[in-house]
A and B are shown apart, each in its own frame.
Chain A
Amino acid sequence: MTTLPIPGAVRLGLVIDLDICVGCHACAVNCKEWNTGGIAGPLTDFDPYGAKPDGVWFNRIHSYEVGDGPAGQTVHFPRSCLHCENAECVTVCPTGASLKRVEDGIVLIDEDKCIGCKLCSWACPYGAREFDEDVGVMRKCTLCVDRIYDEARPEAERVPACVSTCPASARHFGDLGDPASAVSQMVADRAGMALMPELGYRPTNRYLPPRAKGGGCSSHGNAPALEPAVPEGTGFLGWLDRLLSH
């Protein structure tokens, strides 16, 4: 049924630290690698080695310039499904293929029911859903539902592929419905943001904003100039310098 369930207590999601993300795209690559062989795969690629590679990815990494002058900064911004509480991609679905799970809040696609009408992608303001032209169905982030509950894995590995691979630990996974969870604490401490809150989709995922860049860095402050490595005019190197300067 595509009517939304009454929100459950557990709301699994991601917290992404924009202060730490270095924009390496490793999360997107590992997402693709895991999911092309997982329950939501294969993730079709057209022209993968050509001039215009085109395929399904669940995770896209943008880079933005924010602010101007000394306050300006580069912010890397991973974008994927936010597993909204008020997921209109689910309610618009005419077939029941698009669904939100009661037990953990994950938004999934039952691809055997999907007719490929694309309406769910129109209803998502975050651009999180991508159509697979080859199979004729919609695809999206599953929060690695086939990893996070896999009891054959050591417990520490039961996290989405993007979280497990992030070399900077900018991505965190947990229960945002539990105020005592580590991810909820992070959101509380760092004023974690919901994207486009004005639309009322109530996304589960949160983004931690870049920390204030205080204290002035040397290029803008008055740090003392470095001493010359070799004082001019002394020793063998001084003689060599004078010789070569002629």
Chain B
Amino acid sequence: MHPALSVILFTVASGIGYGMLMLLAVLLPAGLVPGDRLFGAVALGLALAGIGGGLLASTAHLGRPERAWRAFSQWRSSWLSREGILAVLSLLAIATLVLVWPILAAPRGCIDATAIVAGLLSAATVGATAMIYRSLKPVARWHNGWTVPCYLTIALASGGLWLDWAGAATGAIDPVPRGVVPMLVLLAALVKTLYWRHTDRAPATTTIGTATGLGALGQVRPLDPPHTAENYVMKEMGFRIARKHAAKLRRIAGVLGVAVPLVLMVLGWLLPGLGLATALLAAPIATIGALVERWLFFAEAKHLAMLYYRADAA
């Protein structure tokens, strides 16, 4: 599938923001993150920037963005519609949290309750985003049980790293209890590794033989294409990436998204003098890794419609 920049930016940036809220919903009521207004302002400001920027980027993927409001109508059947509604609801909840926490410094119970609501809606939004892909039968790399866990764990891991960043920026090194963020990063790495293991080995049940119905007559080979230049279907669904390049990019995503942040976090514990620098570096570097991972999520995905053009496609 064509890796559209707008959708890659949207899923990664909104994943960071929603991941931060998912963690705050647990850590804030438990008293495990700073409850001060400065930390709240920076953390929620970052989350809102990620979510808002992501949503704006996603409208660049639309042919008629001025009609985007219509997408709130078909929640009965469409995961994209559900995602749109949940995104707006969670934005409202986060805006309320901004009001009661950094702006009004309302009583603790009020902040905690709002954080829990915002976190639950954020988790539902990330889940709905992932379900858009998971529900598409023509794309085997998406239509499997690992897609939703990947989106959720990567959102949690990158959200944790950016909470650490918000802490460092406001003078609170390690705002999240030590060890939580590295565990989240390792969990995301494990789930993504299992995703790749599963999708690399999944057998292709649909072939050019069943796509044309001609398989019973023998091997089917494309002879003449229907058109001389690429059409929309080939440009949108026909993106191909060489296996060796994909392997290299997976390693790059692993180094930037997992290894470097883990090393930086450990370095920060061992050498407290470096704590500020490592915390400020880890999140941006991991985000570059997440962008590479998300680019691969699209680039490696093959669409069944390409079977009509290339016998080897699915």
Residues of A within 8 A of B (CB): 1-4, 18, 23, 25, 28, 51-57, 60-68, 71-75, 77, 79, 88, 90-97, 113-119, 121-127, 130-133, 135-138, 193-201, 207, 209-210
Contacts and interface: CB of A to CB of B under 8 A. Distances in A.
Interface string B168-199: 00000000000000000000000000000000
Contacts of A60: 226-227, 231, 308
Nearest to A132: B63
A129 B308 CA distance: 14
Interface stretch (B11-19, B117-125, B136-144, B244-252): B136-144
Interface stretch (B36-44, B66-74, B146-154, B263-271): B66-74
Top-7 shortest CB links A-B: A116-B63, A67-B218, A136-B63, A127-B305, A193-B213, A60-B226, A94-B81
Contacts of B228: 52-53
B206 to A, nearest CB: 6
Given A68-B218, A113-B70, A195-B210, A62 B84 contact: no
Given A94-B73, A94-B78, A127-B237, 17 more contacts: A2-B74, A2-B77, A52-B230, A54-B229, A62-B308, A64-B212, A64-B214, A75-B217, A90-B77, A93-B74, A96-B73, A114-B63, A115-B63, A115-B71, A116-B62, A135-B63, A210-B217
A122 B229 contact: no
Contact of A1 (B76, B232, B233, B236): B76
Given A64-B212, A93-B74, A196-B304, A130 B233 contact: yes
A60 to B, nearest CB: 4
6 contacts: A62-B224, A71-B218, A91-B78, A92-B135, A114-B64, A195-B213
A199 B206 contact: yes
Contact of B136 (A62, A113, A122): A122
A63 B224 contact: yes
Interface string B51-85: 00000000001111101101111101111110010
How many chain B residues sit at the interface, stated as a range, is: 35 or more
B222 interface: yes
Contacts of B232: 54, 56, 121, 130-131, 133
Nearest to A71: B218
Given A1-B76, A88-B137, A199-B206, A113 B67 contact: yes
A130 B74 contact: no
Contact of A61 (B77, B137, B226): B226
Contacts of A97: 70
A223 B266 CA distance: 84
A88 B68 CA distance: 20
B74 A66 contact: no
B61 A117 contact: yes
B221 interface: yes
A113 B73 CA distance: 11
Nearest to B309: A62
